[in-house]
Amino acid sequence: MNEYFVRFSLKQRIEHIVTMLTFVGLCATGLPQKFYASGWAQGMVGAFGGIDATRWIHRFFGVTLAISVVVHMAFALGAVASRKVRFSIAITQQDFRDAITQLRYYLGLTEEHPHYDRYDYKQKWEYWSLMVGNVIMILSGFILFYPTTAARLMPGQFIPAAKVAHSNEGLLAFLVITVWHIFNAHLHPDVFPFDTSMFTGKISRERMEHEHPLELARLEGEGAGHGGAPGAHASRHMG
């Protein structure tokens, strides 16, 4: 019988679902506005009830994204400040060393494979690029939502700049998620055809040994020290 560890809490899974649905909604209503001259874009705008309806739906998902990011950061900062969790998503020098070791491994220059903790360098890069991208999208989105107010508070050049930033960052986010994230989360040979951990919250011991050996060693050490089950402390770490 396989042993499973609790990797993601219910709160983290709900956050992921909200982010996933919000992302789909923003792409479905935002990309047709960027490529408005294309036939497929006009068809999607028509399906949403016209350009005005498409814009309001886009704004709804944009506000939802802003709220979810603020809530996420508030909980994360509060948890770290209270020292209830480890700031394991922080980028360290070890991540750069791991990236080099991983590249050497893929090129056949070494038989050594990096040993990862709770998150590897790819997951950290994806998380922080998402957070930075969200900040850019939210700030530029509100400038475009309230251009008159924005023009009173900042130089007028910020409005066309916000339009360019919002449009290009949206396309970049779409490409990163559909190519990078989908591959690593579902098409990667280690998890193909589907990684269920973000939906069930659990990960098998076999995957922990292969993907997160340092975290596994620490969790088992904590479990032994506290007289508890090995996986009982997995959800105490920040995600």
- What count of other Cβ atoms lies within 10 Å of the Cβ of residue 172? 13
Contact 30, 58 (CB under 8 A): yes
Dihedral sign of CA atoms 155, 174, 183, 230 in order: positive
Confidence of residue 3 (pLDDT cuts 50, 70, 90): confident
Q: Where are the domains of the chain?
A: 4-236
| pLDDT the model gives residue 224 | 54
| pLDDT the model gives residue 159 | 94
Look at residue 52 and tell me whether its pLDDT is greater than 90: yes
Q: What is the CATH number of domain 4-236?
A: 1.20.950.20
Look at residue 1 and tell me whether its pLDDT is greater than 70: no
The 10s digit of each residue's pLDDT in 10-19 is 999 999 999 9
Q: What is the pTM of this model?
A: 0.83
| pLDDT the model gives residue 101 | 94
The answer for 119, left when phi > 0, alpha when psi is -120 to 50, beta otherwise, is beta
Q: What is the largest CA-CA distance in the chain?
A: 64
| pLDDT the model gives residue 223 | 59
CA distances (Å), 101 to each of 49, 74, 90, 213, in order?
Answer: 52, 35, 19, 16
- What count of other Cβ atoms lies within 10 Å of the Cβ of residue 212? 22
User: Which whole number is the average pLDDT over 187-198?
Assistant: 80
| pLDDT the model gives residue 132 | 94
